[in-house]
A and B are shown apart, each in its own frame.
Chain A
Amino acid sequence: MCSAPGDTFAFAGLLFDRVDVRDQALRSAPPDCLTDLCLDQVIETIMPGEQEPAKAFFYCPQPTIEAITARQQLLRDIEQPFLFDAFQTFCTAIGRVRNLVAQAGRTYYRRAREARLLDAAQTYFATVRELHRRLCAAQLHATRLRTLRQCLTGYVESAWFRRAEQAEAQTRAQLREIRYCVRIKGQRVHVFGYEGEADFSATVADLFTRLHPVRPTEFPESPDETSAMDHVQAAILDRVARLYPRAFSALDMFCSAYPDLLGPGVERLDADLRFCLACLRFVQDFRAAGFAWCYPEVVQRPETVYASGSFDPALAHRLRATGNPIVRNDFHLSPAERLIVLTGPNQGGKTTFATLFGQLHYLAGLGLPVPATAARLARFDRIHTHFGRREHLADLRGGLESELRHLHRIAETATPDSIVILNEAFSSTSTADAVSLGTRFIRLLLARRVLGVYVTFLDELAAEDTGIVSMIAEFDTGTPPEPSYRIRRGPPCGRLHASMLAARHRLSYRDVIERIAR
């Protein structure tokens, strides 16, 4: 649909304002923070098995609050059941059209290829019409959906569209009327027109109903019998075409007149919709299980930011599969507070919280809902993450060196709009070194005025300072104490961690006495 005038569906897509911005965004590579934030898992869950171009929508958080708000508006509209269903139907059908066209491309026999193209055309016309009908019946708030409706109206009302639709219907009607006879005797095949011969199967079934009621079961047909064409069927089809020349020449003409139906406008619409629908399905799945997601308010720092009842969607998705409970956490940062220093015992949920902080912002930046009951989040230019990697511990000096290089790069590139998430930095050096390096790096971050989370096992780093908020991983009281996975504000709680860990490993005084005595 490119040559003839009036046959184009000129549509820039739903997720971006301009085609060139969209094209550029879709070429972007996954940002470094994606893996650290476990968002690669989330993306894989949302779009299982999809290749890069489809996933690239996830790689480009929106730089302005306006762009983010526009997407939120769009998604809120799409979420309405009526529209959601309309778009879902549309994407499924377009997928079918694409599939038929691809099948046609793989088909060797001309008449079989043409049959598929005709099927593709029928589905395509019906699908576009149906979407247009439903959009006209819907109340649209999002500007981009209004634009879409406008474009669609122009498209379906164009003379080209009507003519093509009519040609398809007429050709199909002629072909549908054909019934032909085949007689196979040995290796000889005769093909001739059908002249009202009776159904012999029915005669046989009638005869035997007297003995017992005949079940209408047939032998299962293997899938290739229903669609794939072999050379014998192709030979029969050629004879049928000779018996019914009018219908088949109409088909030839249709296929040469409309060789390619799926234009770039429809492809853009389909791709954007598939992204939106996949994300919303993921969210709805959680909501159906009782987990709230919300559209966050996105603000420019310095402003208060917070999230309540939030959870890590990657972890929650895994835990839901095993039926384990999911702990939700809150945070609240006033305009002056910039850096959360998170301390507490291992296995207490520190890393999960740090990840969550980044995830919430990243998802908000994409214009998507976030896993929280309510949220107000900062606009950012980039999320920097540094997660201490265990494999680096083998080579202590090398590990520290590469770590410092990475941290330096973060410090250099971070702006007041950046978000920084650091997990167990300097764990490869001595404690005294780590305290001193950590303290200095935190001061640097504070000077850069970044927003972020600093996870550490060093209580000293949580020392009071302007801009620092100390948070700790909470443990339930009990022997052995179990982590509650709740993160709350509070001063670091020192040696208690060690005794808790000991108890959990059954290394308390009483435990050890008991175990050795036996």
Chain B
Amino acid sequence: MKVWLLHADRDSEQEPAQPCDADTLAEDLELGTLVDAMADGDPFLAATGRRILLSSRTDPDELRYRQAAVQDAIAQPTTVERLYRLASQTLEQRRRIWRSLLHKPETILPWALDTLEVYLDTFEELAPVLDQADRFRSPAFTQLFDRLTGELEQGYLSRVGTISHMLRMRSGVLFSATLGRGHTGSDYLLHQPRDWPARARTAASPRRKTYSFSIPDRDEAGERALSAMRDRALSTVAAVVSQVDEHLCLFFTTLRRELAFYLGTVRLHRRLTALGQPTCFPVVHTVNDRSWSARQLYDPCLALHQDKAVAGNDLHADHRALVLVTGANRGGKSTFLRGLGVAQLMTQCGMFAPAEELEISICPGIATHYRLGENRSRTRGKLDEELHRLSRIVEHAEPGALLLCNESLAATNEREAALIGSELIAALVERGIRIVFVTHFFELANKLTHQHGSGVLCLRAERRADGERTFRMTEGEPSPTSFGQDLYARFFGGESADPAWSETGRPGSAVVWNGSGRS
């Protein structure tokens, strides 16, 4: 039995492959907020949602397969939820059946038969759910319903019931054997149990010559010997029935996991829609299309966190290898960066995207490189640590991968950062890595702008003439200052908050670029 809700040709893995620094990625992109919204209090939904979100898929057809199923799930939330509950409840009931620690056929068989009863009950409950099948359109859901209807027809289920009743062996275990090594029994064959004397008395077959004996009470060695013989006789059927359990357990586990993703997506969609945020199903392109444009792309984590609608940004970065983001401190650069990362992850797990429109090339890997906060524990020098992480990223990078850098190389001074950074980025771009680089280093930004010409898209966090931030990114070459002084002025009041002063980029403003007012 196959689930195949996430992939068109197979069941999903229990532990889908995660990127090498999954925790860093999740933390940098603040996926926790997103995952909490998907879970809505269900820890299994949270864990599953996180894993699937982080295990990006790269086949556009597969993503379209999931997008169709997500559309179905959003349209039929109650059916999806009911199926999910049924799967969870089945697994829970199975877990509660007591299982002997002795792993031998004689003890496994009754246990496996008990689990079989649980599954048979579930199949009965499943019937009314399957009647809803015609409301689904996506290949993922319709094919699952078709398969279930076909495989679990009533005649078959009742035959299973009969045989599993026989397997309880209430009239004793009947088997035959040949003389094996040392004349111990060999080549055991189990026979259908029946009430032997009753059959023996029929006229058609005269009674066979039978020799009988009994094991005396308290003959423990004798009991063990009988038990060993029963084990050998039952070993095949016990293996078969426990394999059936294994298989059905796997089926329900997979079903529950795959439904958890769709249910989580439904819940996330419900939250964002309630906040008035737009969503869309992204148009997915291959890596080589180098497509990357959006209308009103926003960071869903910020919206969920603030519990209100947030502003979005438009993006026109088709065929750009490098997106360079400079501009005002606290002007929304990090939010913008995060929005790009989250949108990419959501797209590549088959979800809707946080935008009004999104056309995007899939990438074979996403990595983030954020300046370390002071709270993270460190065992090396700051720059050493940064370069170590960069080198790890480079080690795992593939052409077409997406690298999100937030104030990378901030641990060193501007000149060195320009030197190291420009060479590193030139090499990465050369190797086809797509980079979004947020920096307040003018020298580095300036160098990159000229180095990459039309391959670079320069964005600036907008700041109006009155010093007010709009959290919008506008296209613009890097300017030789950051706006930290504004912040400084807000807290300390005063003289340096003259916009004209900072716009002119007088020599000496480097003191300010180095970000004493950065959060």
Q: Which residues from chain A sit less than 8 Å from chain B, CB to CB?
A: 103, 107, 111-112, 114-116, 119, 175-176, 178-195, 197-201, 203-205, 207-208, 210-212, 214-215, 217-219, 221, 225-233, 235-237, 239-240, 242-243
Contact = CB atoms under 8 A, between A and B. Distances in A.
A244 to B, nearest CB: 9
Interface string B161-205: 001000100011111111111111111011111001000000001
A211 B225 CA distance: 34
B151 A182 contact: no
Given A210-B151, A211-B248, A219-B238, A231 B222 contact: yes
Q: Which of A200, A211, A226, A228 has the most CB of B within 10 A?
A: A200
Contacts of B232: 221, 225
Question: Nearest 9 pairs between A and B by C-beta?
Answer: A185-B172, A232-B225, A239-B211, A201-B236, A115-B183, A212-B247, A197-B191, A192-B210, A187-B215
B226 A175 contact: no
Interface residues of B, number: 66
B100 interface: no
Given A192-B209, A230-B221, A231-B221, A208 B239 contact: no
22 contacts: A111-B183, A115-B179, A115-B181, A187-B222, A189-B214, A197-B176, A199-B190, A201-B236, A201-B240, A204-B167, A207-B160, A207-B163, A208-B243, A215-B239, A217-B239, A218-B239, A226-B181, A226-B186, A229-B183, A231-B225, A233-B184, A235-B213
Nearest to B166: A200
Contacts of A221: 232
B1 A211 contact: yes
Nearest to A184: B173
B226 A187 contact: yes
Given A178-B179, A179-B178, A205-B240, 13 more contacts: A116-B182, A179-B176, A182-B177, A183-B174, A197-B191, A198-B192, A208-B160, A211-B1, A211-B247, A219-B235, A227-B181, A229-B184, A232-B226
A235 B214 CA distance: 10
A184 B211 CA distance: 12
Contacts of A211: 1, 151, 244, 247-248
Q: Which of B187, B208, B230 has the most CB of A within 10 A?
A: B208
B490 interface: no
B315 interface: no
Given A191-B211, A193-B208, A227-B184, A181 B174 contact: yes
B156 interface: yes
A217 B183 CA distance: 24
B140 interface: no
B371 interface: no
B129 interface: no
A119 B182 CA distance: 8
A227 B182 contact: yes
B450 interface: no
Contacts of B177: 179-180, 182
B104 interface: yes
A184 B221 contact: no
Contact of B205 (A181, A195, A227): A195
Contacts of B103: 219
B196 to A, nearest CB: 6
Contact of A187 (B180, B184, B214): B214
Q: Which of B185, B186, B192, B224 has the most CB of A within 10 A?
A: B185
Contact of A183 (B196, B240, B248): B196
Given A199-B191, A208-B240, A232-B222, A240 B151 contact: no
A182 B184 contact: no
B159 interface: yes
Nearest to A197: B191
B240 A214 contact: yes
Interface in B379-414: none
Nearest to A194: B176
A239 to B, nearest CB: 4
A237 B151 contact: no
Contacts of B190: 199-201
Given A218-B235, A229-B184, A212 B178 contact: no
B189 A201 contact: yes
Contact of B184 (A180, A203, A212, A226): A226
A193 B226 contact: no
Interface in B218-237: 221-226, 228-232, 235-237
B176 A201 contact: no
Contacts of B182: 103, 107, 112, 115-116, 119, 227-229
Contacts of B209: 192-193, 243
Contact of B163 (A188, A197, A203, A225): A203
Contacts of A226: 180-181, 184, 186
B211 A243 contact: yes
Contacts of B221: 230-231
Q: Which of A179, A183, A203, A230 has the most CB of B within 10 A?
A: A183
Q: Which of B183, B212, B229, B236 has the most CB of A within 10 A?
A: B183
A198 to B, nearest CB: 7
A237 B215 contact: no
B352 to A, nearest CB: 35
B395 to A, nearest CB: 31
Contacts of B478: none
A218 B226 contact: no
Given A183-B196, A197-B191, A207-B159, A237 B183 contact: yes
Nearest to B108: A219
A226 B178 CA distance: 12
Given A211-B1, A217-B239, A182 B179 contact: no
A479 B208 CA distance: 94
A345 to B, nearest CB: 49
Given A207-B159, A229-B184, A188 B214 contact: yes
Contacts of A197: 174, 176, 189, 191-192
A184 B229 contact: yes
A185 B215 CA distance: 11
B215 A200 contact: no
B414 to A, nearest CB: 44
A127 B59 CA distance: 63
Q: Which of B176, B186, B214 has the most CB of A within 10 A?
A: B176
Nearest to B216: A187
Given A204-B167, A233-B184, A183 B159 contact: no
